Structure 1
């Protein structure tokens, strides 16, 4: 614990004195509203011999590796590969410019390369990685969900979103996920395999190609070049379970062109459900990325069932690692919290969360409550608006910076926890936007 923080309070006690709107109210955790238990719906959650959800940190089977791509390498490594293949090393910079700045892998577009060797050069360093299977977009066109087929037929998704003043891409880091969270569509089939560094980056390059072609709605329309500003590793998979490839991808994102995309590290968010050793490793990377902890419950009793990795590393351990990230990097941590009706949205949990964060100091953290995508008749549905606002206000009353987050993409199953890589054969379909959050 940090020397500038007060001693632990009785935050987890069974009765709590709560000040709401100037009224002091004594609230029991079990009072006023029911407590819904996390239960997988529509699928059977894999369980181990100990009766706990199975966690999968590595691929179960050996897989054929994706073909070597220039995005897997730094510029010097690309030059060496070309020399080994009998090409001139400086061609690596030209190929890199075409990929990272012009967003093309078509040899016919590379007129600065000798006509006789264009195809051979592109084949050497730009093998096909992701093929677009279909895309879904909102009726305003400012959110697009892509379904990609990898070289081996594995399907993954990413979501491109335009906000005022910025464009964000939610990228996948794995095909499937092994964290076995009962509310998440991505994890229902477990982990298929890790994505390569280049497969992660190709999601960004192809999104930039779509933007450059004017296919993302809501642009300025004045011909100003646009591209992805922000990356969030909140698509399919647990990013820190694919640590090396994710970090290599982040380096390529921030490497100056033409070695990489030349993005700002501060525009990149790496999230995790709480792999504590990897969080500590991330803090030592000397990369000022934003770190986001998907917490979703402040008490171990609920989080053990809601986020199964909590059976390995408890809430306090995850929060201590998050605070350590702030101490080492100076970058404020984001706490992601999906508000689920009658499950984790009780007022006493907002108080408990605030107390736990304040115990670790002030000014180091920001909370993003996220309304879960509503599903009629399901236990996995969003909190009522009044409940959400009370939850947010109770955090703010205790001095916690809190922003209720936009659930962009829910009408195309592109919101948090909805990415399942299902091929519905509806290429470039436009879906009317339902009750968009703004």
Structure 2
């Protein structure tokens, strides 16, 4: 007996909006200024000689003012606004769930397309004012053994529009429009959410160009950090294309342990990774690399490991973020004792490296480092299991997946 499962009913997602000809509307939010000029010209919305001016107007309305309706673009001719609405969209994705932690951390579950759901987290009082942790993929392929996010299988890369949408959703919720507010709460962007950003380089680079554009959201590239588990061949391109700050998800000082904690290390071992970091474009004392090091009790938290870390990164302008392990259901690891973390930090500090101990934020809503995993992914998996069992018993009925949802 074969059964085809339609999980779109479980997610409840609506189909993507389409033009009158049946083609999907192009999301202008994911286009850089250059790409927007080309799109306006190719669509016939703007003449070649006026496309640059029109793109600047539209770009500012989208990313500086935060509008979600072309009708609100009052300095654009009415007939042009109507034509824009026929070909393009600037609508926000659906917010499936919004949670606020007791410490002020906010987490959004965002549905950008049928079956495509991601999480973004805003953490107050991080960076200059507050940081937004964005996702670059739906799920992840890396399977880092301590990371809850890594237990969700990869669905696909996100588009630039879907990455930028996470920033727009946060700015909506924080009342951060227009983007040049002096007292804005969102000052930093970190690509530390779901997925490996360097496996989605094109969309990540475009999103950073859009987010950092001074005519729009205008977050400086020096306040945008991309975290990677060590996709060494893409490090050079990341620095050259984005000028973003680099963070390395390190967590171990030898290949044997890192092979277990970060399986990508089997492909790009530590000697290759460290060489790639040393060659990262723009690295300097003013643009230090951040090494992320999750503290796992009895695994990587000894004084010997601290000394090995110092030796490993010697000569690299760097700081080390020590991250108390954030527990999640089913994990085999425990967080290091506080005394062990402080002893580790003291050794690193004495060697001249800044080693702040990251205060866990948003643990109560599973929004802390390594805890992101779409709740809906678990719901869909549960629905799939129930439907499969019903099919095997020959009693599948039309309401089963609705009940599972």
Q: Give the TM-score taking structure 1 as reference length.
A: 0.73
For 2:219 and 2:176, the matched residues in 1 are separated by 20
SS of the residue 1:414 aligns to:
coil
Pairing partner for 1:289 from 223, 244, 247: 244
User: Structure 2: how far apart are the matches of 1:213 and 1:134?
Assistant: 20
Aligned counterpart in structure 1 of residue 87 of structure 2, from 124, 142, 158:
124
Is 1:98 the counterpart of 2:64 in the alignment?
A: no
1:159 to 106, 117, 121: 121
Q: 1:350 to 1:377 in 2, by over 3 A?
A: same
With over 3 angstroms needed to count, the CA separation of the structure-2 counterparts of 1:66 and 1:227, relative to structure 1, is farther
Q: Following superposition of structure 1 onto structure 2, how do residues 303-382 of structure 1 map, counting pairs within 5 Å? A: 303-325=258-280, 331-358=287-314, 361=315, 364-374=317-327, 378-382=331-335
Secondary structure, counterpart of 1:401 in structure 2? coil
Report the CA distance shift for 1:99/1:388 in structure 2 as closer, same or farther (over 3 A). same
| Structure 1 SS opposite 2:375 | coil
User: How much is the aligned-residue C-alpha RMSD, in angstroms?
Assistant: 2.6
Indicate the larger mover: 276-285 or 198-207.
Answer: 276-285
2:356 and 2:24 mapped to 1: Cα distance?
39
1:396–1:328: structure 2 CA closer, same or farther, 3 Å change rule? closer
What does residue 24 of structure 1 align with?
none
Q: Is the 8 A contact 1:79 1:92 kept in 2?
A: yes
2:370 is equivalent to residue 417 of structure 1: yes
Q: State the 1:231 CA deviation.
A: 0.4
| Alpha-carbon distance, 1:108 to partner | 4.3
Post-superposition offset of 1:167 = 1.7
1:261-311 Cα deviation digits (max 9, x unpaired) = 2221100001100111111322333x4321000000111111101100000
In 1, Cα distance between the equivalents of 2:34 and 2:266?
Answer: 43
Q: Tell me which moved more, 304-313 or 118-127.
A: 118-127
2:101 — aligned with what?
138
Segments of 5+ residues of structure 2 without an aligned counterpart are 1-22, 379-405
- For 1:388-399, list aligned pairs within 5 A: 388-399=341-352
Determine whether 1:231 maps to 2:189: yes
191-200 or 109-118, which deviates more: 109-118
The 3 A distance-change label for structure 1 pair 212 and 278 is same
- Report 1:212-291 matches (<5 A): 212=175, 226-257=184-215, 260-285=216-241, 287-291=242-246
Structure 1 window deviating more from structure 2 (237-246 vs 92-101): it is 92-101
Distance 1:230 1:213, change over 3 A: closer
Q: Aligned equivalents of 2:221 and 2:170: distance in 1?
A: 18
Change (3 A) 1:123 1:421: farther
Task: Answer yes or no: is the 8 Å Cα contact 2:160–2:203 preserved in 1.
Answer: yes
**1:191 and 2:154 matched:** yes
Residues 1:271 and 1:322: Cα distance change in structure 2 (over 3 Å): same
Unaligned residue ranges in structure 1 (runs of 5+): 1-64, 215-222, 426-438
Q: Which residue of 2 aligns with 1:54?
A: none
* C-alpha distance in structure 1 between counterparts of 2:256 and 2:189, whole Å: 33
Residues 133 and 301 of structure 1: CA distance in aligned 2, closer, same or farther (over 3 Å): same
Deviation, structure 1 residue 375: 5.0
8 Å CA contact 1:66–1:151 kept in 2: the answer is: no
In structure 2, relative to structure 1, the CA distance for the partners of 1:312 and 1:131 (3 Å cut) is same
Query: Is the partner of 1:366 in helix, strand or coil?
Result: strand
In the alignment, the residues of structure 1 paired with residue 72 and residue 334 of structure 2 have an alpha-carbon distance, to the nearest angstrom, of 48
Q: What is the DSSP-based 3-state SS (H/G/I as helix, E as strand, rest coil) of the residue aligned with 2:201?
A: helix
Q: How many residues align?
A: 346
Q: Counterparts of 1:372 and 1:173 in 2: how far apart (Å)? A: 22
Offset of residue 322 of structure 1? 1.4
Residues 1:110 and 2:65 are matched in the alignment: no
Bigger shift: residues 165-174 or 103-112? 103-112
CA deviation string 1:214-263 (max 9, x = no partner): 9xxxxxxxx96525210000000000111111111111122221xx4222
Contact 2:323 2:357 in 1 (8 A): yes
Question: Residue 115 and residue 280 in structure 1: after superposition, are their counterparts in 2 closer, same or farther (change >3 A)?
Answer: closer
Find the residue that maps to 2:174 and give its secondary structure.
helix
| Alpha carbons 2:236, 2:280 under 8 Å: kept | yes
